[in-house]
Structure 1
């Protein structure tokens, strides 16, 4: 026993209070760092069978995580189409979070490297973190994407200090709870409705993002949608070096070979102007992600294949490759209507598909079947996220250096095999189309210049104000990708033609009707001296309001010179070539004005004129100024009177037919009033009589139903697939109503795939000459074709004698005996038809019709054998649809 004199005592009032205070503070800190588990907030694990998390629940959880940790912040980046506040989270060390402004400033300097020397770069990247953007849920029906981010955030924040720092000492993660808040809720609400019924895997009954649904990932360069603009604005303000978007594929489909996850590299072909350094890094990263899956014992990762190519530039994710970011998507098995339901794939079924379970070069550990649930999908997504973080931390300096070099090489040499510049004159058939195109490029980070004086370029004289886009700029690879001509390669897989994963040709000058002149040789010094960078006063980016392109200073500077109104009189004559003319017409009719159609041409390049009267002249002038319409004052009084239209738009009970939404968006954007008509509305003779015209967007057989299946319009989903109230189509009852509607003088408009329904069931004397043709004989998908226009028909008012139309597995018409009506659009007998994309079997088009006006009783059926409103991009043919409604 120790002696008392050696025993130490603590005097009251000395050290004890300090220890107590220290312990109290430490305990308070530790308590604040207790990370709430998903189960404690949601009441179940993330990915639990029969349970889905909606957007508000996710945001509530992310806020709880932020409150509990100094490793995460949340930021408001905008609002969705339905008005939901949209948030991102930023995860890194507390030190990095305190220095976010400096980190972003350095990132911007690397992303925009003009004038930055390699020596100065080395100083920047010595301690500069890599910014990684990870997200999911863009395609909301691929539901694991929006679920897994909750689990991933939790796992990162609960790490011990050493493990967390190993990832985030030189990394900043931008983690979106979801890329589609509205869609996440639509899907979760749908699952709640069906999960306790006999159809817990029923397909969605509507699109999962306002207007566009699944096409929300095809709006990358057009930026028509609110959500697309918020994404682009956020990514251009963060410029992440790595951008990973999680997707999902339908399980067990013919194209998946029963692998569990597809990862880059992509299949051939990839985008022509994809920066090589960035593409190589993306391919390497794909292997890193696969390795992470192997490390954790998760089988079935594969690459390349025959399905996912990256040829199309319009993907919201892949377009960032042209900003020199490592940007891509991945595909986990299990999307397409599986929701939170469990399912099992028998081993023999997988073996039958694969042939054997032997290792393959890109499928080294085949999945052998068994249970595959939402929790598995979440686990695969979370795992590859760790692979991304590992790649970022181990290759940080190379990633930053290659981003810099990719930009400087483009500045110094301009994109390989592309023009050195593109010239866009201000004198355009529809000046607004040029402004629209240029503002979208500017919002995507492209620099645009104007001539300060008249200059000769490549033998042609251009006036002051002409827009010029040099391609030797850091994001210059994007310019030829959208303004240039696409030539999709002819690729055979054995005896089968390799089909484009999406589209083959999208050249904006053709689809938008904008005159653009590429310049092959470098611009002369005197031209360069005459160029001035476009920059305007940007509108404020308000996260609480609709996103405007003019929040970008370059886009704000793209304006058309004001022009004085010509002529005299109290009425305003409008050019039918100009899309905004139809907005003014609709405003006038809504405000009890008068609109007539005069067959006299507005000018030498357009036949027909719309004349507006009965509206205060100052009001007309204000509208014209706002809409950038020149117009002419006139005293024309006589002509065909136009009434305010009552338009019906057919909407099936299915989420995959987003052509409905694009049509609705286009009409509403041009201030037409349109009602969605469902099956019961079509069947009801009293309802349909209220409408002047009913439009059937592109709707063919249900996906996977086969070419011989009848139209989805007629039969819809069977009761074996969905709830009774969403089953069926218009049926014979609705068909009879349509026939009565026609006989009474109504008008029906059918677009692209829906034409087959009209020909067959309305007994039209029209033949589709390419129906049933083998691909080896005829194939045209997602391409722009040259067509001839019947300018004598009022439905083609304002359309040039020749125009480019968007052909997408479309019908081609030949009229039969008994046909009454007019050919509106046809393919030329001679000359090249393909303008951009791919075409096999051109002779099947020659001399045949692409659009018809068919007289049926007192009524009219209009058949468009193409998509005049395709994805909101075909500005040159919008007016075809508008005129068709009025005449």
Structure 2
């Protein structure tokens, strides 16, 4: 029923936005596809504009060739010199220092008036103070703004090679469609991963033999820190490239369509294009999804009209619209269309396989393609058609796109000014449970008011963060900055105010829900209630596309109040990143300084002190400092000229207070020392290790990256104090040795440059593990996170996995029907008296993702974080969460003279959960520390 209704609705859309100039041609061969290419593709070049084939050493899009970013950049500069249809602008620099360029393409008249069109786009997107009449006038005057990117995932090589052809054709085409679309639209072509493009293309082209070229054995991540996860950073905004793109999307240009191009397509097909599968995130305006469906359907129809078979939608792939964090999904929470395509292809020709199940036409795969040899040039032509379809849609629906982004923004503003309620899966279940009888599925209509539209379910008018109520104020300000970098309006109260009966001081941060980007605000503050999707009715759960629960305010440990009633407050709106209130030196004592352990920034100060040869201590019990009581773990810094200089220079910018006291606090303490950290990685780069590298750099921890071969050499205590194994750094170890967890081996040493050969190898049970055991027993510290926790059993740790079952004497993991908890946030009990948990609250939110928890089997293991309820789920989705009760998520284990810290919770995942960073940072310093007492 859903498919037929959708097909009928979309047929109407096609009739309303007709662009087809030729009947659909069923084409299954390369020759037929080529013959169906519109005539404007081969329009003679405008004089003086260099064609790609005349600029590059080999034409981009031909087999066994990849142009690198330097060449791409040079070509853009050439085009900008030769054509009056393009304006080339930098929109920032990358993590490796390359310039990110965007080519703004439109008619010469539009390019001469860009500031006006940019202002129109801003006014309509933000909606504030714009009446409906003015919105319609602006929509009539304005131009549709479309962002089209390339190169995000650098081993997906089609998009940057195709983009040079798209640009050339738009800059030289003289056909009616090109001229019309340039008049109606402003197209922003942005490259979102120059560093990866350069790395991958150079690696591929290093082999002089075209037939021997490959980019599958690249030695490191293709984004400096995050690799493929550069497409999971959009709401957190940690990386330079993300900050640059977000600024264009949500603070400067406000495109109504964001076209994010990927590969590879579904097997036996060519390309995935929306519509997407469920679930639909209930926070964003439904108009954004119906419009996304329109654009996607137009793209399918244009491919088919040109005889280009093999596109699929919806059930053809796993992509949904739930998770807010990707280049194409974050736009939904900003009232913009987000288009994702996933196409096959690359420099090496590939065979489309015959999969009988995809050969029968259906709504989700309307024109199957027969097996054939596929070339990069074929992908280039499909890319051109898809780009053309999006641009033509924007042109023909210019006023509707512009007006509708205002309409959605105004919907958010109006909803935030009145009582409103969201319908969530839990509310649906509650209505069913409350119903006394049903009639063909219908229940008493009054349940909508008695179960859903209740006072406690009312949506907030605002969220207020008061500075004096934060365990880690700089982290709370960092959270607010993620909102600002996503275009959200944040205010700082200029005087005290009262809301919901509570008095808030001046300086409190106010995030109103009555704003255009309300969907993003709600998604970042409120819990996600993920639908319980199953593979079939009554079947096992269907894995979400990425995370199910990710509420950033919870991950970052922000204390906030949700204001549900009307209130009056005035404030200053932040124009750019906020700065945390300056920290202070409090008191006049001369013996030294006492500093709280709650703020993550205290580790920056600690690392600066250690680097200067000063040895701070962690006090093992609560400390009274002036009028404040600091919890166990407070940092003691003995006075010296150098210590005083470092403390006084650091506390202001870091936003932490230091208490100058007249004597050292009494009691047991841990004396810290400089630590030598080895962060384990593998050839090719592990994303979790890359994220950790970024995090360690931000907090000024000294470290070096270490590979399996170096671990296997032994004598580890002479080189390291701490070894960190993040998720994915170890293969699936067992008693007999190891096996890889995913297909594909590492390259042979003689096939790669000598400088990378010592990166090869794997962690093994027979060689590496004995070296690690000796390291720990001799006083070293080993930290394991996620699936690296499998090392614990091989090291003889007195813990056993809890989320398992025993059948016929064999221990196996639970099925997804027996336990299922995809990336979600849980509430856990923490033991803050354990040094591993210094600075944590006794109850804290932790991120967990289908991992493992533990039961303790020996006295030398201590639970630091455990689940103490049947219902720990805070945000996301969990089935049989009761299995977590009385199991441990973080364990502190003595190993001879050293330590093993096991993290079943993902305490640093993607650099998001600031609220649990301390559990990791403490582990880096705690193991090597020594006891002291006054």
Do they superpose with TM above 0.5?
Answer: yes
| Structure-1 separation of matches of 2:841 and 2:743 | 39
Are the counterparts in 2 of residues 689 and 741 from structure 1 also a CA contact under 8 Å? no
Aligned-pair distance for 1:821? 2.5
Aligned-pair distance for 1:327? 2.2
User: Which of residues 817, 820, 824 is equivalent to 1:776?
Assistant: 817
Which residue of structure 1 lines up, in the alignment, with residue 909 of structure 2? Answer: 870
Are the counterparts in 1 of residues 583 and 656 from structure 2 also a CA contact under 8 Å? no
User: Which of residues 372, 383, 386 is equivalent to 1:384?
Assistant: 386
User: Which of residues 456, 466, 470 is equivalent to 1:425?
Assistant: 466
Are the counterparts in 2 of residues 682 and 688 from structure 1 also a CA contact under 8 Å? no
SS of residue matched to 1:492: coil
SS of residue matched to 1:822: strand
Aligned-pair distance for 1:555? 2.8
User: Which of residues 802, 816, 834 is equivalent to 2:873?
Assistant: 834
Q: Are 1:182 and 2:195 an aligned pair? A: yes
Aligned-pair distance for 1:686? 4.1
Q: Which runs of 5+ in 2 are unaligned?
A: 1-43, 423-458, 805-812, 927-934
Q: Are 1:83 and 2:123 an aligned pair? A: no
User: Which of residues 327, 330, 346 is equivalent to 1:316?
Assistant: 327
| Structure-1 separation of matches of 2:583 and 2:789 | 42
Q: Are 1:476 and 2:518 an aligned pair? A: yes
Are the counterparts in 1 of residues 46 and 173 from structure 2 also a CA contact under 8 Å? no
Which residue of structure 2 lines up, in the alignment, with residue 620 of structure 1? Answer: 647
Aligned-pair distance for 1:434? 1.2
Q: Are 1:805 and 2:846 an aligned pair? A: yes
Mean CA deviation greater in 859-868 or 558-567: 558-567
Which residue of structure 2 lines up, in the alignment, with residue 545 of structure 1? Answer: none
1:156-195 equivalences in 2 (<5 Å): 156-160=170-174, 162-176=176-190, 178-193=191-206
Mean CA deviation greater in 447-456 or 860-869: 447-456
User: Which of residues 535, 559, 562 is equivalent to 1:515?
Assistant: 559
Which residue of structure 2 lines up, in the alignment, with residue 750 of structure 1? Answer: 784
Aligned-pair distance for 1:677? 0.3
| Structure-2 separation of matches of 1:659 and 1:193 | 28
Which residue of structure 1 lines up, in the alignment, with residue 400 of structure 2? Answer: 398
User: Which of residues 694, 701, 713 is equivalent to 1:684?
Assistant: 713
Which residue of structure 2 lines up, in the alignment, with residue 341 of structure 1? Answer: 348
Are the counterparts in 2 of residues 129 and 171 from structure 1 also a CA contact under 8 Å? yes
Which residue of structure 2 lines up, in the alignment, with residue 665 of structure 1? Answer: 694
Are the counterparts in 2 of residues 502 and 782 from structure 1 also a CA contact under 8 Å? yes
Aligned-pair distance for 1:680? 1.9
Which residue of structure 2 lines up, in the alignment, with residue 504 of structure 1? Answer: 548
Provide TM-score, normalisation by structure 1.
0.87
Q: Are 1:555 and 2:571 an aligned pair? A: no
RMSD: 2.6
Q: Are 1:262 and 2:279 an aligned pair? A: no
User: Which of residues 68, 71, 88 is equivalent to 2:85?
Assistant: 71
Which residue of structure 2 lines up, in the alignment, with residue 325 of structure 1? Answer: 336
| Structure-1 separation of matches of 2:269 and 2:560 | 45
Aligned-pair distance for 1:314? 1.4
Aligned-pair distance for 1:345? 3.1
Deviations 1:688-722 (A, max 9, x none): 6311100001116779x99x995659999355899
Which residue of structure 1 lines up, in the alignment, with residue 486 of structure 2? Answer: 444
Which residue of structure 2 lines up, in the alignment, with residue 139 of structure 1? Answer: 153
Q: Are 1:569 and 2:569 an aligned pair? A: no
| Structure-1 separation of matches of 2:603 and 2:713 | 31
Structure 1 residues 496, 715: closer, same or farther in 2, change over 3 A? closer
| Structure-1 separation of matches of 2:905 and 2:750 | 31
SS of residue matched to 2:498: strand
Structure 1 residues 715, 585: closer, same or farther in 2, change over 3 A? farther
Are the counterparts in 2 of residues 714 and 729 from structure 1 also a CA contact under 8 Å? no
Structure 1 residues 515, 204: closer, same or farther in 2, change over 3 A? same
Deviations 1:597-628 (A, max 9, x none): 22132465731211223325244212100101
Aligned-pair distance for 1:50? 0.9
Structure 1 segments of 4+ aligned residues over 6 angstroms from their partners? 700-703, 713-716
Aligned-pair distance for 1:631? 1.8
Q: Are 1:244 and 2:288 an aligned pair? A: no
User: Which of residues 874, 879, 897 is equivalent to 1:858?
Assistant: 897
SS of residue matched to 2:141: coil
Structure 1 residues 203, 781: closer, same or farther in 2, change over 3 A? farther
User: Number of residues paired by the alignment?
Assistant: 814
SS of residue matched to 2:682: coil
Are the counterparts in 2 of residues 220 and 317 from structure 1 also a CA contact under 8 Å? no
Aligned-pair distance for 1:851? 1.1
Are the counterparts in 2 of residues 662 and 871 from structure 1 also a CA contact under 8 Å? yes
Are the counterparts in 1 of residues 583 and 653 from structure 2 also a CA contact under 8 Å? no
Which residue of structure 2 lines up, in the alignment, with residue 489 of structure 1? Answer: 531
Provide TM-score, normalisation by structure 2.
0.83
| Structure-2 separation of matches of 1:69 and 1:224 | 36
Structure 1 residues 447, 699: closer, same or farther in 2, change over 3 A? same
Which residue of structure 1 lines up, in the alignment, with residue 769 of structure 2? Answer: 735
SS of residue matched to 1:327: strand
SS of residue matched to 2:503: strand
SS of residue matched to 1:497: coil
Q: Which runs of 5+ in 1 are unaligned?
A: 1-29, 536-552
Are the counterparts in 1 of residues 605 and 650 from structure 2 also a CA contact under 8 Å? yes
1:641-652 equivalences in 2 (<5 Å): 641-652=671-682
Mean CA deviation greater in 133-142 or 608-617: 608-617
Aligned-pair distance for 1:845? 0.8
User: Which of residues 645, 659, 677 is equivalent to 1:632?
Assistant: 659
